[in-house]
Structure 1
Amino acid sequence: MNRPRRILVLAPHTDDAELGAGASIAKWIEEGSDVHVCVFSTAEDSLPKGSRPTRLAEECHASLDVLGIRDDRRTVFRYPVRKLSYHRQDVLENMVQLEHEIAPEWVVIPSGSDLHQDHATIHDEALRAFKHRTVLGYELPWNHITFCASAFVTLERRNLDRKWEALTRYTSQLELGRPYFTKEFHESLAGVRGLQVKSDWAEAFELIRVVF
C-alpha cells in the first residue's frame, strides 16, 4: 500500500495509541504522513490515589509531544472510563465529525478481538463511521485471547526508542506497575513481530479493511 497522507489513530483511553501503535506513529510522522490522534477517555478513575484528576490528560499531551503529534492534530474527549458503551451515539457522532474534518486515508483502531468493553465500543463505532476507509486494528495482547496479525509495520530501533520515550511520560501508569508498561515487554513483542517478517522490529496490526 502507498504511504497515506493522513492517518487517524483512535484511542479509547489516554495511553492506547502509544501502547498499540506508538513506534508506527513515530515512523509514519518521520516519513511525512499527517497523523492525527483522538482519545475518548482520560480514565480519571484509573489514577493512583491522591492524583489530580487532570493528570492522565497532561501525561497524554506530554506523550504525544514526544511522538511528534502537533497540537492541532490531537483531540481528547473526557468520556468516563469503562462506560463508553453508555455514550455510543455521541462517540459515533464524534467520529463522523472527524471523518468530515480530517478525511483520513487510514484509520487505526483497537483490534476486533480486544475484549475491553471501551475498546470494543471504539472498534464497532469506527467501522460505522469509517466504512469507506482503510482500517487497521492495533495489538494490545493483555486484552486478547486471539489476534490476527495480518499487517506489519517494520521499524528501526529509533522508532521503538521513541515509543518507549513517549510511554515514560505516563508516570501514573509506571507508578501503578502495569506489567505492559516496561521497555522489555515492548522490545520483546516488537522482536517477535519483526521475526515474522524478517525484520529486527515490527508492530503488528489486524487488517480489517483495505481501500486502494
Structure 2
Amino acid sequence: MRPLALTGIRSLVALGAHPDDIEIAAGGLLLQVAAANPGLAVRYVLATGTPARQAEARAAATAFLPGADLTFDLGTLPDGRLPAHWDAVKAQVERAACETAPDLVIAPWSGDAHQDHRLLGELAPTAFRDALVLNYEIPKWDGDLGRPAVHIPMPDDIAHRKVALLHEHFPSQASRDWWDDEVFLGFARIRGMECRSRYAEAFHLRKLVIQLP
C-alpha cells in the first residue's frame, strides 16, 4: 500500500490521561512531526499527575517536541478515577478545543481497557470536530490491543531515540516489570511488520475526510 503524506501540521493537541501515556504511544510521531514542522504549536494536556510526575511530563514533552511552541494544561485528578470526574475531564478537553484550532489531535483509543484512557478517547471526537483525531494505543497488562488502521513508520534512529528518551525522562517508571526496551521496540517491530517497515506506531481512526484536487 502506498502511503499518504501527512503534511502542513501547524498545530497539535496531545491528550493523555497520565504522564508517559503520550510518549509511550506516540513518541515517534511527536519526534517526526516536530522535526518536519519547525515552530509547531502544541497543546499538551494531561488529566492526572502528581507534581513530580508533571515535572517528568514537562521535560519529556520538551525533549520529544524540540523547537515546538508548547502550552501545558496539566491536571491533578486521581489516577484510575477519571470516570468519577467526568465533568472535570470534559471541561479540560473542551477548553483545549476552544482555545486551539489544531490540525491534528492525538488521544487514547475509546476501546482501551483502562477506564482513564477510554474516557479521554470517548471525549476527544465530541470536542474536536474539525481536526484529524488519531487514537493511540498503549501496551499493558490488560492485553487490549486491537487492529488499528493507521500506521506511521519510524526510522530506526527515531525508534531508538524514542526509547532512550522514555528511559531518560520517566525514571519513576523504571521499576515496573514491563518498562524495558523489549516491550517498546518489540511492539514497534510488530506494527512495523504490518506496514512493511522495521518499526512503526499505529493508531485507530474514527473519521477521515479526503479532499481531492
**Whole-angstrom distance in 2 between the partners of 1:206 and 1:171:** 29
Secondary structure (helix, strand or coil) at the match of 1:77 reads strand
Amino acid at match of 2:85: H
Q: Which residue of 1 aligns with 2:74?
A: 76
Residue 121 in 1 paired to residue 115 in 2?
Answer: no
Amino acid at match of 1:160: A
Structure 2 unaligned regions, length at least 5? none
**Whole-angstrom distance in 1 between the partners of 2:153 and 2:86:** 34
RCO higher in structure (CA 8 A, sep ≥6): 1
Change (3 A) 1:170 1:203: same
Q: Which residue of 1 aligns with 2:48?
A: 41
- The answer to whether the 8 Å contact 2:25/2:137 transfers is yes
Secondary structure (helix, strand or coil) at the match of 2:144 reads coil
Secondary structure (helix, strand or coil) at the match of 2:17 reads strand
**Whole-angstrom distance in 1 between the partners of 2:45 and 2:107:** 10
TM-score (norm 2): 0.86
How far is 1:144 from its partner? 4.3
Q: Which residue of 1 aligns with 2:30?
A: 25
Change (3 A) 1:123 1:96: same
- The answer to whether the 8 Å contact 1:38/1:75 transfers is yes
Secondary structure (helix, strand or coil) at the match of 1:137 reads strand
1:97 to 82, 90, 95: 95
Residue 184 in 1 paired to residue 189 in 2?
Answer: no
How far is 1:166 from its partner? 2.4
**Whole-angstrom distance in 2 between the partners of 1:23 and 1:178:** 22
- The answer to whether the 8 Å contact 1:28/1:35 transfers is no
Q: Which moved more, 1:199-208 or 1:32-41?
A: 32-41
How far is 1:34 from its partner? 3.6
Secondary structure (helix, strand or coil) at the match of 2:191 reads helix
How far is 1:13 from its partner? 0.3
TM-score (norm 1): 0.86
Percent identical across equivalent pairs?
25
How far is 1:14 from its partner? 0.6
**Whole-angstrom distance in 1 between the partners of 2:160 and 2:83:** 34
Amino acid at match of 1:36: R
Q: Which residue of 2 aligns with 1:51?
A: none
Q: Which residue of 1 aligns with 2:19?
A: 14
1:67 to 33, 58, 64: 64
